[in-house]
Amino acid sequence: MLDVDVLAQARDLAAKCADAGVWSLPDADLLAVLDTAHALEQLAATVKLHAVREVDARGIPASQHATSATVWLRHRLRVDVDVARRSVELAREVERRPGLDQALASGAVSVAQAQVVATAIGKLPDRLTPDLVDAAEAVMLGWAQDFEPKAMRQLSTGLLAYVAPELADETDRRAIERDEKRALQTRAFTLSNQGDGRYRVSGWLDAEAAATVTAALDPLCRPSGDERTPTQRRADALVDVCEFALGTERLPDNGGDRPQVVVTVPFDVVRDELGVGQLDSGDRLSPEQVRKLACDARIVPMVLGGDGQVLDVGQARRLFTGPLRRALVARDGGCGFPGCDRPARWCHGHHIKAWTAGGATALDNAALLCGHHHRVIHQGEWEVRMAADGRPEFIPPAYLDPERRPRRNTFTLRR
């Protein structure tokens, strides 16, 4: 029987140790303190698990009108509900698994390792005999001597093959089929307006679909010497793939029309200078975004009068098409921005002098730019101009080169 007074004395001794400084200890003693404190922590956790299980078995939470042992423990110990739930579940499992209980009590496994063992044992097929279940537990307790919980969790996926290889193949097949069915049924994609100019993308894919998306995005996510984070590169790659799909003109009709972007701008702004636009979704675009779309996107300009009356609805058109597009690809070979290796099929045609400012849709007023560098140019820090030899060259901002010497993409020139 546990002596409560002894436990209280151990607590008091631990409190004295907690108040003592460790800065003066030699290395060997400091490491001994670390190891011993960790062992004490695990032993104390084992005592707590035994207490949790007994509280649960006696029905104390129900007698105090708690909805569950987990909720009671959360309130009693002031811990997160997930911590309380794991404690209750592990306490019940420890009672069912004397070997696991003994490993905890002896300090052979940590609480986190014990949770991995309990979870793995719980996933074994019901038709496994008790001897084989015990053997699986012994295998995992052996792993605990060498591996941290994460590694044990990864190893546990092949646990059945250690103890019952004749069942492993069939069980794996059933598990894969079950996972595939669940993944297919729960697949989802959401695009949520956050109300601050951002949209949140979230969803679930099955393994095959994820492999397809990854294969499409990975070539566009390689670092290219810019300052984008990996997540920013993936976001840009997703947009690039969608722009490429729109450019193929092979997408199905949408309400009788080909997929397209409608940009609405006030008449006075169009006459003088391009300003804020509005998409058919209701979202507003900055002048910079409108100019970028106007360069080489399938857009429908809708012109409004001062009273909001629709004065004109233009025709959807791609500004750089046919022979002009082919000539542009032949000249630039791909994205013209210095250092970029995006191929031509992923690039837009950019008006060096904006068409809203009277710029011609002509080869001597055009440059191929990938989606990312098209955005960079429209941000205004870099400039692009046509050199004397009829090829575009790029002027960096002064903070990159105080002399602002023109640069070219030597990668595409070598193609």
DSSP string over 59-113: THHHHTT-S-HHHHHHHHHT--HHHHHHHHHHHHHHHH-HHHHHHHHTTSS-HHH
pLDDT tier for residue 250 given thresholds of 50, 70 and 90: low
Model pLDDT, residue 407: 92
pLDDT digits (tens, 9 = 90+) for 177-201: 787 788 888 889 898 888 888 888 8
Model pLDDT, residue 289: 66
Model pLDDT, residue 354: 79
pLDDT over 90 percentage in the chain:
25
Q: Is the pLDDT of residue 269 over 90?
A: no
Q: Is residue 60 packed enough to be buried (19+ CB in 10 Å), middle (13-18) or exposed (0-12)?
A: middle
Residue 318: which of 391, 246, 390, 237 has the closest Cα? 246
Range 332-342 average pLDDT: 87
Residue 289: its H or E element: helix 287-296
Q: Is the pLDDT of residue 313 over 50?
A: no
pLDDT tier for residue 13 given thresholds of 50, 70 and 90: confident
pLDDT tier for residue 275 given thresholds of 50, 70 and 90: low
* Residue whose entry in the numeric block shows the structure tokens 């701008």: 265
pLDDT tier for residue 315 given thresholds of 50, 70 and 90: very low
**295 vs 245, higher pLDDT:** 245
Model pLDDT, residue 409: 86
Model pLDDT, residue 113: 93
Model pLDDT, residue 325: 81
- Taking the domains of the chain in order of start, what are their residue ranges? 4-183, 188-248, 261-313, 322-413
Model pLDDT, residue 309: 47
Bridge pairing between strands 261-266 and 299-304: parallel
Q: Is the pLDDT of residue 384 over 70?
A: yes
pLDDT digits (tens, 9 = 90+) for 70-116: 999 999 999 999 999 999 999 999 888 999 999 988 888 999 999 99
Asked if residue 46 lies in contact with residue 111, where contact means CB atoms within 8 angstroms, the answer is: yes
Q: What's the whole-model pTM score? A: 0.46
Model pLDDT, residue 279: 61
Phi and psi at 43, nearest 5°, equal: -65, -40
Tokens at 373, concatenated: 């560098």
Range 220-247 average pLDDT: 80
